[in-house]
């Protein structure tokens, strides 16, 4: 796995500026307003300062809903929860996750009732009725010399005798194109653009890992994002009023607050709530949720409430006064008590291990949302996660009982849809195994064959023909349905691991080389026995290959169990300095810094693979941070001919190392296709006490060829046989010697 620093993101700083107030802003109820009142009379009214006229607790009744959900309710809910989880105001993901689990534990899970229960448990989340209206065509009506603009589709032209402009923001649908419609409506009244507030949002560089490491390449931070200013098309600044209603679309609320705080527009009607302006809508079923996904900053943080200058239920009755009102008063800022958008750290925030149907429904929904936001390989593996979510939710509903093993396997079944060798399911509840089956298994002709064994009655070269009462073919067919991998070879290896960890005695059917079959019952061995037998294909240590008839060829096993330090590697490399050829065995996983190893083996400047990390700046802005590194050779390296051994267990960091050697054209590759799975892992903690990991970045070869699912393809393919394991023959190593000898003769 590649590790590198989290690219820093520059923060746009905002200074809180105290603005003097020469005279109070207006606050007038419609019952106290007479038709013949003059602006001077209006100015004499007392007013609260901004932020003090209404508490922000009521914002749920003030936000207008947008379009209803367009997909199955569970899929829409996944999108909604992912927005709340990754971009909302909760300071721990588990807070949002547990609210979802509680809501989905009801009999009417995936209903609007459950959605309301979910929102009621969370700060900064509101349920609202959907509004599927589209924007009407824009229109202008004149009230004397005041142009009353109704925003909508199309252009706006003000009559030449217009002395002032009012924009009606009431009852606008939160439809696609609303921002553009609002800007089109207001631009003719502005002689110069108006700076919009910066949006302080949570920016994710990949999905911050919650399972494996708190020092991973991925991270998140709250960052102020600048917005494009409100455009201006006018020649002079016309007096401007914004008519605000009891409910407002977030875009309309942001425009109103922006222009009022900038001193460019009066507010006639209702107060503007910051929380409404900071909300993001997600349709779910026949309704949806609005959740706060930003903090607005405009010469400091927006106050919770921006009160109307004239509070009235009939703001159109004031339009005739607009040309005579004169300059807008400055405003004083009130309180900003609403929750802030901040960095979230949920590493190892393991959720309760109590297992209910609601926990599993929530876990699947959360996984779906995390993958939809952050998984980088849908274009390569295909996008099946919507269908898989509905399938696995159906499995939960159809189960008469639910235990941890079933729950784990349902999550594994979901993970199979992404075909990612880094997809693992972690169980933090009661362990599902008590011991091990200490063997190394290899795949030969689609069958599991014992390569090494410390189990009594099981010998190298034995073929496993039955597992726990099922034929091996049937057992693997079942496991493949819930084993996620990018290549067939690594899928076989991952599935095999399921019977290496035993929850009790298990019977295996074995076939010897002579064709006879027998049954053995394996009682679980201690974990140390599995570690002792190892995982890598070869346990050979570094040295000359004299025993194989190649005294001038040197071998280095880069697998972690055989090479534990760079010092050990450099010692071997010094010994190999005069070798006619070098065999590098990378059929397992490296135990040392593979970049340093590569710098001793590639004798000119070279490049790393290409790493592409998704960057999500709030819920609606997505980009990619692409990185590639130039590395230089280290002194006293080896520059002679080399063969690289790879196989199905060559995965992740082992493949990262291999890519550099292959791209630099430093090696001939011998063996079998690698796992096709590279890039830093990330993971999500789930209700029920589970975790779910996946690859969080896209990795490409240096020439931009896709790597995922392709892996390292050998120049010379070598397949082992069962008798090789009985006889202690390493067929791939023998072929590597042959290749190097031919290279030596050719030179």
- Dump pLDDT digits (tens) for 712-738: 999 999 999 999 999 999 999 999 999
Between CA 283 and CA 264 the distance in angstroms is 33
pLDDT of residue 301: 96
pLDDT, mean of residues 184-193: 98
pLDDT of residue 305: 94
pLDDT classification of 45: cutoffs 50, 70, 90? very low
Alpha-carbon distance values, 493 to 511, 532, 536, 540, 610 (Å): 20, 18, 11, 21, 27
Residues 6+ apart with CB under 8 A from 22: 329, 330
Between CA 742 and CA 744 the distance in angstroms is 5
pLDDT of residue 443: 98
Between CA 109 and CA 148 the distance in angstroms is 46
**Could you report the per-residue pLDDT of 204-245, keeping only the tens digit for each?**
999 999 999 988 899 999 999 999 999 999 999 999 999 999
pLDDT classification of 745: cutoffs 50, 70, 90? low
**Could you report the per-residue pLDDT of 235-248, keeping only the tens digit for each?**
999 999 999 999 99
Q: Is it the case that residue 36 has pLDDT exceeding 50?
A: no
Q: Is it the case that residue 34 has pLDDT exceeding 80?
A: no
Percentage with pLDDT > 70 across the chain: 92
pLDDT, mean of residues 56-80: 92
pLDDT classification of 58: cutoffs 50, 70, 90? confident
pLDDT, mean of residues 305-332: 90
**Which tokens is 50 given?**
């901004």
Q: To 10 degrees, what angle do helices 653-663 and 594-601 make?
A: 20
pLDDT of residue 627: 97
pLDDT of residue 5: 31
Burial (0-12, 13-18, 19+ Cβ within 10 Å), 706: middle
User: Which among 424, 426, 415, 406 is positioned nearest to 351, based on CA atoms?
Assistant: 426
Percentage with pLDDT > 90 across the chain: 89
pLDDT, mean of residues 445-467: 98
Alpha-carbon distance values, 96 to 57, 257, 285, 410 (Å): 19, 29, 20, 22
Residues 6+ apart with CB under 8 A from 547: none
Alpha-carbon distance values, 658 to 21, 559, 608, 653, 664 (Å): 67, 13, 10, 8, 10
Q: Is it the case that residue 79 has pLDDT exceeding 90?
A: yes
Q: Give the H or E element holding residue 737.
A: helix 731-746
Between CA 306 and CA 313 the distance in angstroms is 17
pLDDT classification of 133: cutoffs 50, 70, 90? very high
Beta strands in 115-218 (DSSP E): 125-129, 139-143, 146-150, 164-168, 198-205
Q: Is it the case that residue 657 has pLDDT exceeding 90?
A: yes
The mean pLDDT of the chain is 92
pLDDT of residue 679: 97
Could you give the domains of the chain?
A: 30-47+132-280+293-324 (3.90.226), 435-533 (2.30.42.10), 543-676+711-746 (3.90.226.10)
Q: Is it the case that residue 274 has pLDDT exceeding 50?
A: yes
- The residue with tokens 């705080």 is 261
pLDDT of residue 590: 97
User: Which among 243, 239, 139, 251 is positioned nearest to 185, based on CA atoms?
Assistant: 139
How is the beta sheet containing 543-545 ordered, strand by strand? 543-545, 550-557, 581-585, 642-646, 668-671, 716-717
pLDDT of residue 41: 34
Beta strands in 117-218 (DSSP E): 125-129, 139-143, 146-150, 164-168, 198-205
pLDDT of residue 16: 28
Tell me how many degrees the CA angle 270-274-280 measures, rounded to the nearest 5.
110
**Which tokens is 706 given?**
């896709």
Least confident of 335-339, 372-376, 472-476, 543-547: 335-339
**Could you report the per-residue pLDDT of 147-158, keeping only the tens digit for each?**
999 999 999 999
**pTM score:** 0.91
Between CA 664 and CA 604 the distance in angstroms is 9
pLDDT classification of 31: cutoffs 50, 70, 90? very low
pLDDT, mean of residues 545-570: 97
pLDDT classification of 32: cutoffs 50, 70, 90? very low
């Amino acid at each position: 796995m590649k590790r590198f620093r989290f690219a820093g993101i520059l923060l746009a700083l905002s200074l809180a500026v105290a603005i003097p107030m020469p005279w109070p802003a207006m606050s007038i109820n419609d019952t106290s307003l007479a038709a013949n009142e003059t602006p001077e009379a209006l100015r004499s009214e007392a007013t609260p300062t901004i932020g003090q006229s209404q508490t922000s607790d009521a914002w749920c009744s003030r936000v207008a809903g947008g379009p209803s959900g367009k997909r199955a309710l569970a899929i829409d809910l996944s999108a909604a929860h992912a927005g709340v989880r990754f971009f909302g105001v909760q300071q721990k993901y588990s807070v949002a996750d547990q609210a979802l689990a509680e809501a989905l534990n009801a009999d009417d899970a995936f209903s609007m009732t459950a959605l309301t229960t979910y929102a009621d448990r969370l700060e900064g989340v509101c349920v609202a009725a959907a509004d599927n209206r589209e924007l009407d065509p824009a229109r202008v009506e004149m009230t004397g010399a005041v142009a009353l603009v109704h925003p909508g589709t199309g252009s706006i032209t003000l009559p030449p005798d217009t002395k002032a402009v009012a924009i009606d923001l009431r009852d606008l649908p939160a439809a696609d194109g609303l921002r553009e419609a609002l800007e089109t409506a207001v631009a003719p009244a502005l002689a110069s653009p108006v700076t919009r507030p910066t949006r302080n949002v949570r920016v994710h560089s990949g999905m911050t890992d919650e399972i494996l490491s708190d020092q991973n390449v991925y991270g998140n931070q709250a960052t102020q994002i600048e917005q494009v200013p409100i455009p201006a098309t006018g020649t002079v600044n016309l007096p401007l009023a914004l008519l605000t209603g009891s409910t407002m679309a977030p875009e309309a609320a942001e425009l109103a607050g922006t222009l009022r705080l900038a001193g460019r527009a009066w507010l006639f009607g209702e107060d503007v709530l910051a929380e409404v302006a900071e909300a993001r809508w997600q349709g779910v079923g026949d309704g949806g949720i609005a959740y706060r996904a930003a903090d607005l900053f405009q010469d400091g943080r927006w106050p919770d409430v921006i009160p109307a200058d004239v509070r009235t239920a009939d703001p159109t009755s004031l339009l005739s006064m607009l040309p005579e009102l004169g300059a807008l008063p400055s405003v004083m800022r009130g309180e900003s008590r609403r929750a802030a958008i901040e960095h979230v750290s949920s590493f190892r925030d393991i959720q309760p291990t109590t297992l209910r149907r609601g926990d599993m429904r929530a876990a699947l929904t959360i996984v779906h949302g995390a993958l939809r936001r952050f998984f980088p390989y849908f274009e390569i593996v295909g996008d099946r996660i919507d269908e898989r979510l509905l399938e696995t939710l159906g499995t939960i509903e159809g189960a008469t009982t639910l235990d941890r093993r079933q729950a784990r396997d349902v999550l594994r079944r979901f993970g199979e849809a992404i075909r990612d060798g880094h997809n693992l399911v972690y169980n933090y509840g009661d362990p599902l195994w008590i011991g091990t089956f200490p063997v190394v298994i290899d795949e030969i002709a689609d069958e599991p064959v014992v390569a090494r064994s410390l189990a009594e009655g099981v010998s190298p070269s034995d073929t496993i023909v039955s597992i726990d009462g099922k034929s091996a073919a049937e057992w693997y067919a079942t496991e493949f349905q819930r084993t996620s991998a990018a290549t067939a070879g690594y899928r076989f290896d991952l599935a095999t691991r399921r019977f290496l960890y035993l929850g009790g005695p298990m019977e295996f059917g074995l076939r010897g080389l002579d064709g006879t079959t027998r049954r053995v019952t394996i009682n679980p061995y201690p974990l140390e026995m599995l570690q002792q037998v190892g995982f890598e294909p070869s346990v050979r240590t570094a040295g000359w290959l004299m025993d194989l008839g190649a005294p001038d060829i040197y071998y280095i096993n880069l697998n972690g169990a055989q090479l534990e330090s760079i010092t050990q590697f450099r010692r071997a490399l010094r010994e190999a300095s005069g070798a006619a050829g070098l065999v590098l065995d990378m059929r397992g996983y490296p135990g040392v810094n593979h970049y340093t190893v590569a710098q001793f083996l590639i004798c000119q400047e070279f490049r790393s693979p290409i790493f592409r990390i998704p960057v999500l700046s709030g819920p609606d802005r997505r980009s990619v941070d692409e990185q590639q590194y130039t590395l230089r050779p280290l002194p006293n390296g080896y520059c002679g001919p080399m063969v690289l051994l790879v196989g199905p267990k060559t995965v992740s960091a082992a493949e990262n190392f291999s890519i550099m050697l292959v791209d630099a054209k430093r090696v001939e590759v011998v063996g079998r296709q690698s796992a096709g799975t590279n890039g830093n892992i990330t993971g999500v903690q789930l209700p029920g006490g589970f975790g779910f990991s996946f690859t969080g970045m896209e990795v490409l070869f240096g020439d931009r060829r896709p790597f995922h699912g392709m892996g390292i393809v050998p120049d010379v393919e070598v397949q082992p046989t069962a008798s090789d394991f009985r006889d202690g023959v390493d067929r791939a190593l023998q072929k590597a010697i042959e290749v190097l000898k031919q290279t030596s003769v050719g030179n």
